[in-house]
Amino acid sequence: MIIENICVATDGSDVAVRAAQMAVLLAHDGGGRIVAVSVAQPQFSLAPAAASTREVEAAIELALKAARAHVDTVARIAKAGGVACETLIKLASSPGPEIVRTAEDYRCDLIFMGYHGPSALDRSYAGSVAQQVLACSAIPVLVLRDPRETTKPEFSDISA
């Protein structure tokens, strides 16, 4: 399989930045390009229906600004690595399907993303974004785990 287009999903976290760095190395070695996507998820202090139009617009603007910063970071990493990069910002309440849709639309050969564990909200509702992407993507997904959140396997001495 030749990897020419890599979709890098980013939320701006440290592990997402490390995933972008690794994706750029992979793209550079294969002569590919990066499609960086960040899905803006507005955070509301009240239920959106109870919030004023101004509060809703402010929350959306803040989320879009953060998403722009996230993809701009990936673009800087790609530029430093000599890899072409297109940046996209999406607005959705559920990032997983939007990431997969973007990778499909841009004919990506691989989705590369970081995993830092589900938030408390994710645990109680839909699971992590990485789990969503893995569950609904026909495109191969490479997930970089946060090394601080891994546990060392326990090995027993089989010969004993």
Question: What are the residue boundaries of the structural domains of the chain, listed by start?
Answer: 5-149
Cα angle, residue 51 at apex, residues 50 and 57 outer, rounded to 5°? 150
14, 38, 20: which is closest to 146 by C-alpha?
14
The span from the CA of 7 to the CA of 103, in Å, is: 6
Beta strands in 28-158 (DSSP E): 33-40, 84-91, 110-115, 141-145
pLDDT in tens, 69-114: 999 999 999 999 999 999 999 999 889 999 999 999 999 999 999 9
Q: How confident is the model at residue 136 (pLDDT cuts 50, 70, 90)?
A: very high
pLDDT at 158 > cutoff 60? no
pLDDT at 122 > cutoff 50? no
Amino acid at 51: A
pLDDT in tens, 23-64: 999 998 888 999 999 999 987 666 656 668 888 888 899 999
Q: What is the pTM of this model?
A: 0.83
CATH (one of 3.40.50.620, 2.60.130.10, 1.50.10.20, 3.30.70.20) for 5-149: 3.40.50.620
42, 55, 17, 9: which is closest to 146 by C-alpha?
17
Report, as an integer, the average pLDDT of 148-154. Answer: 63
Task: Please tell me the predicted confidence (pLDDT) of residue 18.
Answer: 94
Q: What is the dihedral of CA 79, 81, 85, 87, to 10 degrees?
A: -70
